[in-house]
Amino acid sequence: MIRILIVYGTTYGHTGKIAEALATTFRHRGALADIVQAARGEDEIDPDAYAAVVIAASVRAGHFQQPVQEWVRANAGWLGDRPTAFVSVCLGVLQHDAKVDADIAAMMDRFCEATHWTPTTRKVVAGALLYTHYSWLTRWIMRRIAAKAHGDTDTSRDFEYTDWKDLETFADLFFDQHVAPVAKWWRSPTPAA
């Protein structure tokens, strides 16, 4: 059975939900999907076990999580040998502004340059405003940013902007276009879990 690895980084937890949603789609397609949170000192991963990899990271103050960057840089060699996807989670995409979109693309380019990794495909996904999870200072800053962008400012609750259907379509396309062709010849060295 084909096996897909999803490595993610998160600051407030939402990208973990996105990783779960991707895994659910892959499992519906008959694949095994393992989810790993990139963190320093994690267990070794067996590259041979995976036919494809998705890297998902969220943006905080213009940067992706450092542990994700370190993980990708350390594993760039074998990532280059198979289909990979880069999923960037942020709120800037909600502005539907060409300049902001270009900034997000440039941020992803910098990540790829720094890690020496060229993903097969990339996707920008809207994240969440988790006011109830933030410290008072972060809540205050995020409310100000949201107000300037005419976004949601009720700090008594959280707001989720991810288009789950669109994410599922992306995962299905990645599977059909990039994973399924590999599945024809790929055999996992490890038994199905």
By the criterion CB under 6 A, which residues form the site for ligand FMN? Answer: 10-15, 58-62, 89-92, 127-128, 138, 142
Give how far the C-alpha of residue 59 lies from the chain's centroid of Cα atoms, to the nearest Å.
10
Amino acid at 59: V
CB 51 within 8 A of CB 92: no
Distance of closest approach, residue 30 Cβ to ligand FMN, in angstroms? 28
Residue pair 124/15 in contact (Cβ under 8 Å)? The answer is no
Rg (the chain; Cα; Å): 17
Shortest distance, position 37 Cβ to ligand FMN, whole Å = 10
Query: What is the nearest approach in angstroms of ligand FMN to the Cβ of residue 56?
Result: 8
Q: Which is nearer to ligand FMN, 13 or 80 (CB)?
A: 13
Q: Are 143 and 132 in contact (CB under 8 A)?
A: no
Encoding tokens for residue 68?
């994700």
150 vs 184, which CB is nearer to ligand FMN?
150
Residue 129 or 171 having the CB closest to ligand FMN: 129
Among residues 57 and 79, whose Cβ is nearest to ligand FMN? 57
CB of 113 to ligand FMN, least distance (A): 19
- Residue nearest ligand FMN by beta-carbon distance: 127
- Between the alpha carbon of residue 5 and those of residues 34, 37, 39, the distances in Å are 5, 11, 15
